[in-house]
Amino acid sequence: MNMFSRPFVRIISAAAGALLVAAVFDLTLWGKDSAPNISVSNTPVNRDVKLGTSYAPIVRKAAPSVVTIYSSRTIHVQPTQNPFRNNPMFRQFFGDQIPQDETPQSRKEQGLGSGVILSPDGYILTANHVVNGADEIKVAFSDDKKKEFTAKLIGTDPQTDVAVLKIDATGLPAVTLADSDQLEIGDVVLAIGNPFGVGQTVTMGIISALGRHGYGINGANGYENFIQTDAAINPGNSGGALIDAEGRLVGINTWIATRSGGSEGVGFAVPVNMARRSMERLIKGGKVTRGYLGILPQDITPGLQEQFKLSTQNGALVGDVVAGTPAEKAGIKAGDVIISFNGVDVSDAHGLQLAVSQCEPGSLAMVKLIRDGVQRNISVMLATLPGEGGGEGGIKNNSDSENSTTDALDGVTVADLDRDARQELRIPDSVQGAIVTDVDQDSNSAEAGLQKGDVIVQINRQPVSNAESAIKLCKDARGPQILVKVWRRNGDLGGTRYLSVDNTKKDAKAK
């Protein structure tokens, strides 16, 4: 059952034989291009206008800016060995004459998607997965399907699923970009693209939701802030336009949630503001660089709100500060709560990460935070986001039954942090505490997010030196919540975060 799908069509044809026509490599990555002339309108859509009987004037305005994108790539396949080649029984009859196909194999994969003209001189915005790995890209216009342009790939940003193309043409019908930050749930939108290759198609819907994230569509290190719409989006719509009721571009259609493989009224688009920032950096330098603050932020749970005496759960709690980063140099500390970044309120950790990623490296950012109940304003010079590590690393139990003890946190077993545990989990010498070797999945601690392999470094703001001190601090803890600070490895990164464990529900398994 297919739950998530890129609305992008791929057609695969196989070609066998040693003779293979070389593909045309017309995808030279361009860098440091001159800035294109892009039309931008930052005014919000007029929501006082009553619905008319036709959207034809809007479609006539925007549809010429949407193009069809054909991509192709050659996939080489290694020849397969005959499974009976080394079988003694077959060798009795065939000897060394067992048929073996060692002819090089290849296949041609054709892709179909959509794109949007950004400037009269031929810059086109599309989805990265439409052109990813392509040998050749062709662009066709809806009003003249016979005329195709070979496109040059300016650059791609897989982390937002954005790509920028350039064709050699002038006087093209460029779309006007809106300010996607001003969208509201319920706004009317139109999706324009070439679904299933049937030809340019327009569908209508509304903005169903904003700020959707957490799907992992763009990979573990991707950035998600999707517009959700019920306007029909189908295979072939990827990279096409999502426009508002005034014909302005508000998003780039990118994926759908589906059980059937087609539209079920749950489509997603990259906000044009996010796409525009990636596009500008790709045209300017051929790659996307992002700002870097150097903290490990986390959301504020009701328990953490109470522990830190906050009036609201809005904001991002600083779980840890990476040494030598802009945050450390500016004086940001673990336990700070960032409530504003560059004058924009921060609602959660994801919102802060997005805001920082959209900033240019080397730019000055203004951070408003709460520390010990007092608001502070701090200026930070952002660095360049370093290479991001892989996915989550595995965690193993490093204790044995003789050296581990069950602590007062319900269902939690801890052990001293020995040399073997440090080596296996790559725990720095600067981290002191007790390592969690087991967590009962029905316990309050598991519900709060405590995991096997975590290192408990503080309990109720008191330092933990070993397993014995962790148990003593837990037994001495009073109040409905226990504030636990842990160090945790996540892939190539490690840092601390806060957990608030419910201390009112006693677990029968606690010893």
Q: What is the pLDDT of residue 336?
A: 95
Query: For residues 173-210, b (16+ Cβ closer than 10 Å) or e, as one string?
Result: ebbbbbbbeebeeebbbbbbbbbeeeebbbbbbebbeb
Q: What is the pLDDT of residue 181?
A: 93
357 is known as an active-site residue: no
CA distance 364 to 379: 7
Query: For residues 493-502, b (16+ Cβ closer than 10 Å) or e, as one string?
Result: ebbbbbbbbb
430 is known as an active-site residue: no
With respect to CATH, is domain 291-384 assigned 2.30.42.10? yes
Catalytic residue among 71, 119, 161, 278: 161
Give me the CATH code for the 1-43+57-78+104-288 domain, please: 2.40.10.120
Q: 39-40 and 176-177: which strand pairing?
A: parallel
pLDDT in tens, 18-67: 322 232 333 334 445 667 888 888 888 877 766 677 899 999 999 999 99
CA dihedral 126, 130, 135, 139 (to 10 degrees): -50
Token code pair at residue 64: 């010429």
Q: Whole-model pTM?
A: 0.69
Spatial contact of 480 and 462, defined as CB atoms under 8 Å apart:
no
Q: What is the pLDDT of residue 80?
A: 59
pLDDT in tens, 314-356: 999 999 998 889 999 999 999 999 999 999 999 999 999 999 9
Domain boundaries, the chain: 1-43+57-78+104-288, 291-384, 405-502
Query: Cα angle at 133 between 130 and 139, to 5 degrees?
Result: 45
Q: What is the pLDDT of residue 88?
A: 60
Domains 291-384 and 405-502 share a fold: yes
Q: What is the pLDDT of residue 406?
A: 39
Q: What is the pLDDT of residue 104?
A: 57
pLDDT means per 10 residues in the chain (511 residues)?
55 38 35 73 78 86 95 70 57 55 66 93 94 90 80 92 94 94 95 92 95 85 92 92 95 88 88 94 88 92 92 94 91 95 94 93 94 94 68 28 47 80 83 87 84 89 86 79 87 83 59 35
213 is known as an active-site residue: no
Token code pair at residue 63: 């549809």
CA distance 128 to 257: 18
CA distance 505 to 500: 13
Q: What is the pLDDT of residue 372?
A: 92
Q: What is the pLDDT of residue 295?
A: 92
- Tell me, rounded to whole angstroms, the distance of Cα 355 from its chain centroid: 13
Spatial contact of 486 and 499, defined as CB atoms under 8 Å apart:
yes
Q: How many residues in total does the chain contain?
A: 511
Catalytic residue among 65, 72, 129, 443: 129
The CATH topology of domain 405-502 is Pdz3 Domain (2.30.42)
Spatial contact of 13 and 108, defined as CB atoms under 8 Å apart:
yes
CA distance 227 to 250: 9
Catalytic residue among 119, 208, 238, 278: 238
**Adjacent-strand bridge partners of 483:** 500
Nearest one of 479, 497, 478, 500 to 487, comparing CA atoms: 497
Secondary structure of 412-425 in HEC code, one letter for each residue = EEEEECCHHHHHHH
Q: What is the pLDDT of residue 340?
A: 95
CA distance 120 to 279: 16
Q: What is the pLDDT of residue 3?
A: 53
